[in-house]
Amino acid sequence: MVVLDGKALSTTIKNEIRIEVDQIIAKGDRPPHLAAVLVGNNPASEAYVGNKVRSCEQVGFSSTLIRRPETTTEEELLKIVSDLNEDADIDGFIVQLPLPSHINEEKVTLAINPHKDVDGFHPLNFGRMAQGLPAYLPATPQGVLLLLERNGIETSGQHVVIVGRSNIVGTPLGILMSRKDKMGNATVTITHSRTKDLAAETKRADILVAAIGIPNFITADMVKEGVVVIDVGINRIDDPTRKSGSRLVGDVDYDQVAPKSKAITPVPGGVGPMTVTALMLNTLKARKKEIRY
């Protein structure tokens, strides 16, 4: 069994990005600049955005964190988005989700200039991705593909079973892995809460992706021997033995499933750091205006 170490790989890739940034600066150009908008005080969002800002420092990017209270109106947020769209010093930006319930996430996403949409959440980027055209790819699916690629895991001809159909993970990952492209050419099954016999589906997976948001949902009886397991879930559960009172677990029961797996991602330290690193790659692409349309 191989542990797919997302934390170590993200350090490697960030060092590669750093070399490119140093070259940009050596030419007398400015480094890439990412902005992140964080509305409210969701502790998970705070941690994720904190990791993004820290990663910017590690790769030599400029970063701007725009924090606004939970009470921010949709109109105020749309004004921030419009200002970032106009700001020539900002190569790309993200609005961290989820947003407070009084703000329409779809409206905010649509307001982002697709050329600065380093999250790849704008329908224009999503549609272009689905058609195999140059586009910003969403960070978590891109991070998963990088983790597979850099660990020499073949996807062509493999049966990939994805549990979860969200707009930011399950659906785009299914599209990317079934496309005729690098890290594609897989036969993809997308399963969800209405799937009739879930275990029958997951047991057929050569590569199983869990992205449902339910702690320890995938158990040993649901996978075949030799499966590659990608655990996208990050769930905080109570643990009185920790001084924080809690710990992070994935959607996969790691202790049970790992012994049956050929390779498996840990939580934390698996897909999460790769998501952040994929965002750094998109921001570098934005600085280099690599995605043209």
CA 200 from chain centre, in angstroms, equals: 27
Is 52 known to be catalytic? yes
3-state helix, strand, coil in the chain (%, to 5): 40, 20, 40
Q: Which member of 91, 117, 119, 231 is catalytic? A: 119
Minimum CB distance to ligand L34, residue 168 (Å): 7
Is 145 a binder of ligand L34 (CB under 6 A)?
no
Could you say which of 147, 273, 281, 286 contacts ligand L34 (CB under 6 A)?
A: 273
Is 93 a binder of ligand L34 (CB under 6 A)?
no
48-87: contacts with ligand L34 (CB under 6 A): 48, 51
Minimum CB distance to ligand L34, residue 26 (Å): 30
Per DSSP, the three-state class of 23 is helix
109-128: contacts with ligand L34 (CB under 6 A): 119
Closest CA to 170 of 228, 118, 109, 213: 213
Minimum CB distance to ligand L34, residue 253 (Å): 17
Minimum CB distance to ligand L34, residue 85 (Å): 16
Q: Which member of 14, 96, 206, 253 is catalytic? A: 96
> Which one-letter amino acid corresponds to residue 293?
Y
The dihedral over CA atoms of 120, 122, 123, 129, expressed in degrees to the nearest 10, equals -20
Is 96 known to be catalytic? yes
CA distances from 127 to 138, 153, 162, 193, 216 (A): 12, 27, 20, 25, 33
Stretch that binds ligand L34, among 223-231, 255-263, 266-274, 284-292 (CB under 6 A): 266-274
In this structure, what token pair is assigned to residue 291? 């995605």
Could you say which of 171, 191, 275, 282 contacts ligand L34 (CB under 6 A)?
A: 275
Active site residues: 52, 96, 119
